[in-house]
Chains A and B, each alone.
Chain A
Amino acid sequence: MSGDTENGAQRVAMEARDRVRFEEEALALSDQVYRVARRLVSTREEAEDLVQETYARAFRSWRSFTPGTNLRAWLLRILTNLNIDRGRRKQRAPDEQPLEEGDYFLYNRLEQSTRDGNLDEERVVERLSQDDIVGALSAVPHDFRDVVVLVDLGDFTYQDAAQILDIPIGTVMSRLHRGRRILKRELADRATGEA
């Protein structure tokens, strides 16, 4: 009987140790989680609430995380689900109309608006301000922005983004391409004063 008690105590101690490790690893990722959250929602307050709620839920359900898998993606999956639960409904049929603008669109517009038509392609981004970028990104519809934020700002692979958002990888790719093009169109309007 005392052996059973000892085993039980050992189990409890091991579990506590695993939990502490999980919590530490999750907290070490909080800056990265916050950075993604901040661009998924409009305000800083919303981002803070969302991150807090995500960590509260993650700490409660830590046992469902499989050690050795991608913890950052696991946390972001909780976060994006919470974000959708909070009333941000998935768009049933995000706009899939073909866009007229291709991937060279922004550069072409900047070139047209330059007097001598001669752009230094590596410095031309300096004509855009941080406000232009942040404003343009928030103008991208949610379903496209989620993917752009996860891949371009969060450094997630297409596969991770597909798992986080629970959508097929082909959808990730098409939304990413479209989202980036919408972002460039928004930037073009801002940079050339047509917003």
Chain B
Amino acid sequence: MASILFVLVFFAVLAALGFVAVSKFDRQQRLSGFERVLFSFATGCYAIYFGVFAIGYWRLDSTTMGILAGVLILTALPVLGRLALRDFGRTFARVYQMARGDRLLALLWLAVIGVGLSAIIQGMAPPNDYDSLMYHLSYPQHDIELGRIAVPWGRDSGTQTGLFPAMMSNMTRFALALTNAGVAQMLHGVFGLLAAAAAAALALRLKMSQSVAVLAALLFLSIRFVVWEMATVEVDIAFAAFSILAMLAYTLWRQHETFGLAAIFGLMIGAALLTKYQGYPFAAAFGPLILYDRFVGRKNWSAFLAGPAVAFCVIVPHLARNAMMTGNPLFPLLNNFFNPEEPVYFETSIFEHYGPGMGLLDLIMAPWNFSILPMQHFDGMVLGAPYLLALVPLVVFDLPQAKRLRPMLTILGVFFVVWFYLLNQQVRFLSPVMPLLAIFAAAGATALWRAVRQHKGLKPVYIALIGVLFINQSMFVGIYSAIRLPVALGLMTAETFHSKTPTMTGAMYGTCTFIRRNLKPGEQYFSVVWPHSFYCPQVSVTLSYFDDEAKWWRETDQPPEMNFNTFMQRVETANFRYFFVPTAFEQRRNDTAKAIITKVNPLDYRFGNYLQPVLSRLQPVFEGHYSAVYDGPAVIELLKDLPQPE
């Protein structure tokens, strides 16, 4: 209950803070009350981002974050009442009135509320997703344990994410300092609702009916990776929210051409850039439309100048920090340009693994392939049932609607081409255009319904097809509720949850919790388990590389070597309490997503050739499915007895 209250207060305070700025930018009252609430909350997020950014490098704990929260609440209080009465009240009253007289609309609202609230509550489940355990959650947890923001350079050799845009990781830091990981996940879930609401707002702004708008929100929330990520601290959903809000702001600017709306557009683009590096190609995707509007449509200069200027201003601190720390404002991207003498990062991850090919036909066929053959050609069943592919093209049955969507279609098209050729082709990286696709799909489904509803033969076939899609996607949505709600509501222990719930190569919950419970203050442990799980102690670990080696990957792409004697000296000096090693890993990237477990060869991890003869003679003090913990003093004692390797 306290977690839900925290999330509600968080939303209200940020919306109130953002309301001050949004009201100033919208003096002419062009925004509807609903739109103003959405832009206010999104703008208010900057307060947490810059607050944590300004304080966290000096001190990050419950005291400083509590003071930050107190200041934000006190600042928001005078605005809160005004905002609640003016915008929330009117919006809810109007929605309720409309839903009362329309059964379909009421059902759609119930579905949206059900899916949305379920996803938010699922956030209270223990973190279980690979990327969050690896860095979205574990890096902020590292900072909390350290007491200030710092890049764990040694660990970053594997992820290179320590200097990524931090809009959402600062939210996570704020939540972890004051509450727990569950609340951090719930805060991220709020951005799913924000994206769904913004999709509905854009649909309404494009003169679609309220049913189409709510259907668009539902179709977005029901995308498999959306409903899954909403209960995690991964950032794709927040990225989608800021992106669709940028589209909404730009659509509003096209209608009214005011400087203030251009500035709000810039704020939303800036937030997208501060959420994920894919924000840069997304921002660039607006380029052709902005140029067209200025030089062909003869619209005024405000969006052309004010939008990019505002976006640039808000990202300057991030760029400056990265430039000061690494010489590369976009670190780790484009490192060959900014630091030509240093290694290039993410080069190999691009073009690898995904997509059947890079030809023009592959580009055209990509939506078909990632919807119909996701296991064979892309990164798995990320979307669920192919309702977007089935419904989006149907929008051509309503030509006036399709024409209104044309400007947004250019953004979708440019971003899609960039995603296909220049980004890692994970389907979830299309998140910024997913709310827009949901609008297209809602408009398409409605257009075909209008066309077939008088047709005796086609009507039942269409209803049956939609019914199958609905049932299939409900299974994807429902399964996450079935998995995460029992533990979120306290009906299942975290141990049982982790033992039953698969995640890529496990959350290491058992082994990490064993270390966390038994490691005494001042003690260190040595780990070669990668990725380093959120559940393990974050600061007291030596993760494959000792402190003086931690930045090796900044200078070379060849990991450093260490001879046995040096390793022994280091190990004895550190007097590690535990040695933590991987024992198996799991792969699911196959046609059926069936887990294939493979034993780890000790020679594959650093120092495995030194440790393997010792570990083979010892019993682990704790063993999980994929990792084992060995007693440090026993390992060190046996290492001393080893004949020195050649």
Q: Do A and B come from one complex?
A: no
Question: Which residues in A have some Cβ–Cβ distance to B below 8 Å?
Answer: none
